[in-house]
Amino acid sequence: MNRPARFPFASRLLHWVMAALILAMLFIGIAMAASLTDYHRLVTIHEPLGLLILVLAAVRVINRLLAPPPPLPAAMPRPMRLAAHGSHLLLYLLMVALPLVGWAMLSAAGYPILLLGTVELPPILAPDAGLYALLRSAHTVLALLLFATFLGHLAAALAHALLFRDGVFSSMAGFGGRRAAAARRIRPRASA
Amino acid sequence: MKPRSSTPSPAPSNPYRLSSLRRRGAPLALAGIALAVAAVVACFAYAGGWLSPDRLTQAKVMAAFDAANGVHPGFRRNHAKGLCIAGSFDSNGAGERLSSAAVFQPGRTPVVGRFALAGGQPFAGDATGTVRSMALSFRPAGGGEWRTGMNDIPVFPFRGAAAFTDQLVASRPDPATGKPDPARLQAFVASHPETAAALALIKARSVTSGFADDSYNSLDAFRFVDAQGRATPVRWSMVAAGPVVAATPAEASPDDPNFLFDAMIRRVAEGPVQWHLVVTLGQPGDPTDDATLPWPAGRERLDLGTLTIDRVEAEAAGNCRDINFDPLVLPPGIAPTDDPLLSARSAAYARSFTLRAGEPKQPSAVQLQASGKGS
Ligand code: HEM
Ligand code: HEM
Ligand code: HEM
């Protein structure tokens, strides 16, 4: 079996573009919630960017179903596998949930959602101030959970790169040409 | 399952064993990972303001309101005492050449709004000298909602949110007397000449008898943007259409702590009340970033249409109580200026709205049934 040991190109492209966007969103969000001066400027970036992430997340889920990731190294212990799969699932859930909660909370607050000063998004909930308060808290809690999960993800990715050196990091990070890809083709281990 | 490996030859030892941490370079790698994670956390903390105790945040403004007024759960942190209003706006079409906003096309737009008294105490007694406000949400059928909150003073006493907040802190009640310390307030004004100048203009205004014959001003400057993208700096006002009666001290009626609101309720029961939406067009050089400064007299003023208020309602779930009259809810065709108050107001109103939306509610001091009994 000659399956490439790397994520398909579309998966890597989506991963890195979205990693940059989601990290930017976390920083923009936390900054705007604690700044009077930059609040408006940041909100006008936060909302359209968040919805772009929702669209990209949908594309990404479809892409993952069509182009599954390469398997994890066979020697990886079960708890580590579970942690990897569990945290990836959580990351996928949060990158869909956060923009949806953002959209829903603005709907419940009764705000018109005007993107880039031109496109008006329809509400997805009827106005309800009490529900808005709940969703607004949920947005904060989920964002902090996403940030914490990201920190674990970052530490794990670097551990794969620097400690385990098991090819997991380069399966996502590698951006070489075809030759580089060929060099990373799977070779069954003696132990496998 | 097939393992992934970037090394051509099978690894001799299992890298996932704890013993592999004894490998040369492993402690360095661990330290690098810890450093990377710590660096990201530090940047996040910086962005969130935790490392900048001097940054003026929404939380600090809310704390200043609480210190000055006490905490009144469920109520707005400012302009806490209010009455819901509704009606319509008839545009005469004169605004079309300046702004592409749907509300300025000829025709009628439904409006909901709120009258209020400035100040964060929802049960304070009405007084003729208190700043009155009119907040409106214009809701054209095809979208393009426009919200605005206006006060009945000619200029705003503070240039930015920092001055506003410092003043709130200066006006917090002295624990000894239960009243603001006049010396602290004087010290604030002395260190803010723009506030002293604005207060002089505010004191010189003519105070009307009530909400119905009062006029309300945007104070902040905005930009009207036409279909070609040309922008005009503007300030707008709702100017009372009916006769204006000056307030007399006799009007303060101590037996009705809600006499201003109750008079408005009775006035609407008699028939609709009207205002003209008048925009003042700024000229190059007119300050758009400083609401403490009036624009020069003689600027062109345009009447864009008539606001008719024909309904009043006590604050309740789902009506004006649950609306945030954020001054930056603007339709295409109206845009913010460089006025620093605008972003600050948007941020503070959102936080005030979030807090009160999640708090238990109690009825407003202003109720329709009670108004008949009022003096
Ligand atoms: C907020 C930012 C990020 C998000 C939301 C994110 C999300 C994800 C998700 C959902 C997967 C699983 C892919 C799948 O199995 O379909 C993944 C894999 C991966 N990510 Fe990230 N990622 C982020 C940032 C990063 C960063 C900064 C790094 C590197 C330092 C990184 C390195 C990796 C690696 C090496 C994999 C492959 C894991 C495997 O082989 O299963 N990610 N990421
Ligand atoms: C991946 C997507 C998103 C991420 C990571 C994210 C992250 C954040 C963060 C970290 C905050 C600050 C929370 C706090 O400190 O309380 C925040 C606030 C906020 N977000 Fe998001 N968000 C996302 C999507 C959205 C979307 C799609 C919308 C709306 C369409 C939205 C609207 C808001 C609003 C209105 C606030 C609160 C601003 C305020 O305090 O007044 N977010 N977000
Ligand atoms: C940085 C300066 C300012 C701060 C921090 C501030 C703060 C607030 C807050 C917290 C509220 C309550 C919002 C809510 O819960 O819905 C409010 C209401 C209001 N403010 Fe300001 N404000 C500022 C400047 C101004 C200016 C310049 C105007 C000019 C017209 C203004 C007019 C109003 C009006 C009309 C309301 C009542 C809106 C309603 O009835 O819902 N404010 N303000």
* Burial degree of B48 (CB within 10 A; 0-12, 13-18, 19+): buried
Would you say residue A2 has pLDDT above 70? no
Distance from Cα A173 to the centre of ligand 1, integer Å:
9
Q: Please identify which residue in the block is written with the tokens 């006060």.
A: B151
Pick the more confident residue, A192 or B108.
B108
Atom of ligand 1 nearest to the CA of B4: 40
Which pLDDT belongs to residue A185? 38
Whole-angstrom distance, CA of residue B134 vs CA of residue B136: 7
What are the structure tokens assigned to A106, written together? 């603005």
Q: How does pLDDT run across B200-233, given as a tens digit for each residue?
A: 999 999 999 999 999 999 999 999 999 999 999 9
Interface mutation vs chain B, best among A35, A36, A165, most B CBs within 10 Å: A36
Q: How does pLDDT run across A145-181, given as a tens digit for each residue?
A: 999 999 999 999 999 999 888 889 999 986 654 434 4
Alpha-carbon distance B325 to nearest alpha carbon in chain A (angstroms): 10
Which pLDDT belongs to residue B214? 97
Q: Is A184 on the interface with B (CB under 8 A)?
A: yes
Would you say residue B253 has pLDDT above 90? no
Alpha-carbon distance B98 to nearest alpha carbon in chain A (angstroms): 17
Q: From the centroid of its chain, how far is CA A115?
A: 22
Q: How does pLDDT run across B14-25, given as a tens digit for each residue?
A: 888 888 888 888
Contact flag A171-B56 (C-beta cutoff 8 Å): no
| Helix locations, B309-364, DSSP H | 340-357
Question: In which band, very low, low, confident or very high, does the pLDDT at A190 lie, cut at 50, 70 and 90?
Answer: very low
Kindly report which listed range (B180-184, B264-268, B279-283) carries the lowest average pLDDT score.
B180-184
Q: What whole-number percentage of chain B has pLDDT above 70?
A: 93
Kindly report which listed range (A63-67, A116-120, B158-162, B305-309) carries the lowest average pLDDT score.
A116-120
Residue B113: list chain A partners with CB under 8 A.
none
Would you say residue A189 has pLDDT above 50? no
Q: Is A168 on the interface with B (CB under 8 A)?
A: yes
Q: How many residues does chain A have?
A: 192
Kindly report which listed range (A135-144, B172-181, B310-319, B329-338) carries the lowest average pLDDT score.
B172-181
Distance from Cα A10 to the centre of ligand 1, integer Å:
14
Chain B residue with CA closest to A38: the answer is B343
pTM, rounded to two decimals: 0.93
Q: How does pLDDT run across B289-302, given as a tens digit for each residue?
A: 999 999 999 999 99
Whole-angstrom distance, CA of residue B182 vs CA of residue B37: 51
Q: How does pLDDT run across B122-169, given as a tens digit for each residue?
A: 999 999 999 999 999 999 999 999 999 999 999 999 999 999 999 999
Cβ < 6 A, ligand 2 pocket: A 22, 25-26, 29-30, 32-33, 46-47, 50-51, 53, 95, 98-99, 102-103, 106, 113, 139-140, 143, 146; B 350
Among all residues of B, which ones are annotated catalytic?
Answer: 79
Q: How does pLDDT run across A12-45, given as a tens digit for each residue?
A: 999 999 999 999 999 999 999 999 999 999 999 9
Q: Is A79 on the interface with B (CB under 8 A)?
A: no
CA neighbours within 13 Å on the CB side: how many for B135?
A: 26
Which pLDDT belongs to residue A179? 39
Which pLDDT belongs to residue B251? 58
Chain B residue with CA closest to A7: the answer is B4
Domain B58-358: give its CATH superfamily: Catalase core domain (2.40.180.10)
User: Could you give the domains of chain A?
Assistant: 9-70+84-185 (1.20.950)
Would you say residue B305 has pLDDT above 50? yes
Would you say residue A182 has pLDDT above 50? no
* Burial degree of A2 (CB within 10 A; 0-12, 13-18, 19+): exposed
Q: Please count the other Cβ atoms lying within 10 Å of the Cβ belonging to residue B205.
A: 13
Would you say residue B8 has pLDDT above 60? no
Which pLDDT belongs to residue B25? 86
Alpha-carbon distance B255 to nearest alpha carbon in chain A (angstroms): 35
ipTM of the complex: 0.90
Which pLDDT belongs to residue A116? 86
Which pLDDT belongs to residue B375? 38
Would you say residue B265 has pLDDT above 70? yes
Which pLDDT belongs to residue B355? 98
Which pLDDT belongs to residue B370? 60
Pick the more confident residue, B175 or A148.
A148
Distance from Cα B151 to the centre of ligand 3, integer Å:
9
Average pLDDT in chain B: 93
Which pLDDT belongs to residue B203? 94
Residues 39 through 78 of chain A touching chain B, CB cutoff 8 Å: 39-41, 43, 70-77
Q: How does pLDDT run across B97-123, given as a tens digit for each residue?
A: 999 999 999 999 999 999 999 999 999
Cβ < 6 A, ligand 1 pocket: A 15, 19, 22-23, 64, 69, 84, 88, 91-92, 95, 150, 153-154, 157-158, 160, 168-169, 171-173
Q: Would you list the domain boundaries of chain B? A: 58-358
Closest C-alpha residue for ligand 1 atom 4: A19
Alpha-carbon distance B55 to nearest alpha carbon in chain A (angstroms): 7
Task: State the DSSP string of B13-75.
Answer: S-TTSGGGGGSTTHHHHHHHHHHHHHHHHHHHHHHTTTT-TTS--HHHHHHHHHHHH---TTS
Which pLDDT belongs to residue B255? 82
Q: How does pLDDT run across A54-107, given as a tens digit for each residue?
A: 999 999 999 999 999 999 998 899 999 999 999 999 999 999 999 999 999 999
Whole-angstrom distance, CA of residue B210 vs CA of residue B270: 15
Contact flag B7-A167 (C-beta cutoff 8 Å): yes
| Geometric angle at alpha carbon B126, from B122 and B130, rounded to 5° | 95
Residue B333: list chain A partners with CB under 8 A.
none
Task: State the DSSP string of A6-63.
Answer: S--HHHHHHHHHHHHHHHHHHHHHHHHTT-SSSHHHHHHHHHHHHHHHHHHHHHHHHH
Which pLDDT belongs to residue B52? 93
Interface mutation vs chain B, best among A38, A39, A106, most B CBs within 10 Å: A39
Residues 103 through 142 of chain A touching chain B, CB cutoff 8 Å: 109-112, 114, 117-118, 120, 127, 129-130, 132-134, 136-137
Chain A residue with CA closest to B162: the answer is A36
Would you say residue A1 has pLDDT above 50? no
Would you say residue B5 has pLDDT above 60? no
User: Which one of the ligands is nearest to A61 CA?
Assistant: 1
- Residue B349 annotated as part of some ligand binding site: yes
Cα-Cα end-to-end distance for chain B = 86
